[in-house]
Structure 1
Amino acid sequence: MASFQSNPFLLFLLSLMVVVASASGGEFTLGKEKPTRSTKKEKPTRSPKKEKSTHLHFYMHDSNGGRKPTAIRVVQGPPLNLPGSNSNFGDVFVMDDPLTEGPKSTSTSKLVGRAQGLHVFASRDSADTALLLTTNLVFTEGKYNGSTLSILARDAIFAPVRELPVVGGTGEFRLARGYALLKTHSFNTNSSNAVLDLDVHVMHY
């Protein structure tokens, strides 16, 4: 193997690297930038928007039957055939439920938005049936038109009041956080159609 002394080309490259390092001062820092001086006066940064509190109240119409269902089953869980087990365990429903100002049908109550998402029967115990509810509340009226709120929650459907966390939002509800109190206003045991009362409290910017 040739040494540096016997190879003029390698010796020349080594000399060149030493000259370059000397010219640059030999200083190198990773992940740091030196501040640059500016002759212009920096503008003061804008103060952040103040956090606001909003309370909303409306009704959600969940229809599983009829000619125009708003919730349909897309996955059916296997039968468990176990004492006390929930025959719906594992079922997945996709929904596009209308939201209205009042509890009456959409033909008589003003439409304010839609609840679009899915719910999954996530409890094996038939005595405490609970859903995994994940949905976007998409508003279509007034200053909230085009804004959304996102809910990710456990919905124990037979409890008189369920508290659902609001985990985010868009538009007027950007960076939203809060909760929704959900009550069953009415339920038809034959069709499984339900009208749900939603009382929403959120903080947002």
Structure 2
Amino acid sequence: MQGRSLSLAALFFCLSFFQVRCQEAKTSMHFGKEKVTHLHFYLHDIISGKKPSAVMVAHANTTEKGPTPFGSVFAIDDLITEGPEPTKVIGNAQGLYVSSGQDILSLVLVVDFGFTSGKYNGSSFSVLSRNPITEVERELAVVGGRGKFRLARGFAHLKTYYLNITNGDAIIEYDVTLLHY
């Protein structure tokens, strides 16, 4: 009797293992082989002028006089360019960022980086991450994507290329590594 129970347990183990392996095979056949893509571009976050690409849509009345704009929410539609000059536009970054630091200027970004030209035209990846903008170099999390970046995950290294401390306009250099299908 004990040998029969052991045989049944072994049979159930094998069947469950086989089922898991079949599901893995279906997933890899459906999505194909995972790819790694490296992207390099510049984001132009313009707050000043007649046609800003980032506008404040809300702020907290209680923190207006603080050292940071804590609680301020900005809607963005920033240009993404091949180089630091806005001559070759390759897409735009649309979303929100929130000033989340009370004592140190820091943002939380919820942004979709969409490409409108080149081999990634129609594809995008999304970032949901903290951006401590006072640090020279920082890393943000990539949490998704669509088109050629389907199921993307990865990270973006950022460096401030240009910052006008008077009006807040900035150009940010992005080096992005994506894992996707």
Give the match for residue 22 of structure 1.
none
| Residues in 2 aligned to 1:53 and 1:81: alpha-carbon distance in whole angstroms | 44
Q: Which has the higher strand share?
A: 2
SS of the equivalent of 1:143 reads helix
Greater helix percent: which structure? 2
2:34 maps to which of 34, 38, 51: 51
TM-score of the two chains, using structure 2 as the length reference: 0.81
Structure-1 separation of matches of 2:50 and 2:41: 24
Structure 2 match to 1:139: 115
TM-superposed deviation, 1:141: 1.2
Aligned CA-pair RMSD: 1.8
Q: Which runs of 4+ in 1 moved over 6 A?
A: none
Alignment of 1:115-154 (within 5 A): 115-125=93-103, 128-154=104-130
Give percent identity, aligned residues only.
47
Change in CA separation of 1:72 and 1:80 when aligned onto 2, cut-off 3 Å: closer
Please list every run of 5 or more consecutive structure 2 residues that lacks an aligned counterpart in the other structure: 1-25
Q: Per-residue deviation at 1:79?
A: 3.6
TM-score by length of 1: 0.72
State the alpha-carbon separation in 2 of the partners of residues 162 and 141 from structure 1.
27
Which residue does the alignment assign to 2:82? 101
CA distance in 1, matches of 2:139, 2:89: 24
Residue by residue over 1:72-113, the C-alpha shift from the partner in whole angstroms, topping out at 9 and shown as x without a partner, is 00002224378xx43411000000000000001x2xx21000
| Contact residue 68 and residue 105 of structure 2 kept, 8 A | no
Give the AA of the match of 1:51: E
Match of residue 113 from structure 1: 91
1:92: which partner in 2? 73
- Write the distance in 2 (CA, Å) between the matches of 1:191 and 1:52: 40
Higher relative contact order (CA 8 A, sep 6+): 2
C-alpha spacing 1:80/1:47, structure 2 compared with 1 (3 Å): closer
Task: Find the residue that maps to 1:47 and give its secondary structure.
Answer: helix
Which structure would you say has the larger Rg? Answer: 1
Task: Pick one of 114, 117, 133 that aligns with 1:157.
Answer: 133
Task: Show the counterpart of 1:4.
Answer: none
Total equivalences in the alignment: 155
- Matched to 2:84, the amino acid is P
Deviations 1:118-172 (A, max 9, x none): 11011111xx221111100010112211101000010101101110000000000
**CA distance in 2 between partners of 1:115 and 1:81 (Å):** 27
- Please, which runs of 5 or more residues in structure 1 have no aligned partner? 1-44
Paired with 1:191 and 1:86, the residues of 2 have a C-alpha distance of 16
* Residue of structure 1 equivalent to 2:153: 177
Structure 2 Cα separation of the partners of residues 53 and 80 of structure 1: 43
| Pairing 1:66–2:42 present | no
Decide whether aligned partners of structure 1 residues 65 and 81 sit closer, same or farther in structure 2, where only a CA change above 3 A counts. closer
Report SS of the residue matched to 1:199.
strand
